[in-house]
Amino acid sequence: MTSLMEQRASQAAAAGQAVRRDQTWVSYDRISPWLVRAVLAGEDSRFFDHSGFDWEEIQKAIEKDWDDKGFTRGASTISQQLAKNLFLSTSKNPLRKAHEALITWELERALGKRRILELYLNVIEWGDGIYGAEAASRHYFDVPASALGPDQAAFLSAIIPNPRGAYNPLTHKKRVEHRKALIQRLMRHVVVPRDLN
């Protein structure tokens, strides 16, 4: 149970809705390499080149946020997203971001990239009450996470930013299709080190 799962359960209970949690843990070896590539393409293409923080993306986000006078562009790496999901709220509060940075630093120091990816792919939200690659694969495609092909993997990666809102495939099909097409193009350039496969 992660902090995000607890937050979603509290929100559902407060709204008088049933609390859903569909999650089945699988090892990294039981997750399709296509999904790993798609998630890296969509969420953090320089994952293997940084130590938890992508300073180039952070600079771009700061410039965009300054121009827009608000928090409009994200720059969180997979490690930062994992830190937030495991231990923190979804708030954009600067103090929460400072906590996230400390946790990210610890995660990168204590865990290898393979373990960070395994944790991330098993806890992230892929829809209302759907957590992790196995539950998402079975929910959307009725196959195990190990059997996902490149098209299915790109779809799942496309909805990660907000599967219950802006990238909900039921209500924003065109937006999801556009992002999926972009991820499919980017996947060609993603290299996963051999020792991770």
pLDDT in tens, 122-158: 999 999 999 999 999 999 999 999 999 999 999 999 9
In the chain, the number of structural domains is 1
Checking if the pLDDT of 63 tops 80, the result is no
Question: What pLDDT is stored for residue 68 in this prediction?
Answer: 57
Q: Mean pLDDT over all residues of the chain?
A: 90
- Give pLDDT, residue 56: 73
CA neighbor of 136 nearest in space, from 120, 150, 122, 119:
122
Q: What is the mean pLDDT of residues 8-16?
A: 94
The strand pairing partners of 150, in sequence order, are none
pTM: 0.88
140 closest CA partner among 175, 27, 149, 34 = 149
Whether 70 has a pLDDT exceeding 60, the answer reads: no
Is 15 a domain residue?
A: no
132 in any annotated domain: yes
Predicted confidence (pLDDT) at residue 90 exceeds the cutoff of 80: no
Residue 55 in this model has a pLDDT that exceeds 70: no
| Whether the predicted pLDDT of 82 surpasses 60 | yes
Instruction: Please name the residues in contact with 35: beta carbons below 8 A apart, sequence gap of 6 or more.
Output: 121, 133, 137, 145, 148, 153, 156, 157
CATH number at residue 45: 1.10.3810.10
- For the segment 162-187, the average pLDDT, to the nearest whole number, is 97
Q: How confident is the model at residue 9 (pLDDT cuts 50, 70, 90)?
A: very high
Residue 73 has pLDDT above 50, yes or no: no
pLDDT tens digits along 92-128: 777 888 899 999 999 999 999 999 999 999 999 999 9
Residue 14 covered by a domain: no
> What's the domain range around 59?
3-8+20-196
With respect to residue 67, please indicate whether it lies within any of the assigned structural domains: yes
- Residue 79 maps to a domain: yes
Residue 196 banded pLDDT, cuts 50, 70, 90: confident
Burial class (CB in 10 A: 0-12, 13-18, 19+), 159: buried
Instruction: Give me the phi and psi of 124, to 5 degrees please.
Output: -70, 155
177 vs 75: which has the higher pLDDT: 177
Residue 13 belongs to some domain of the structure: no
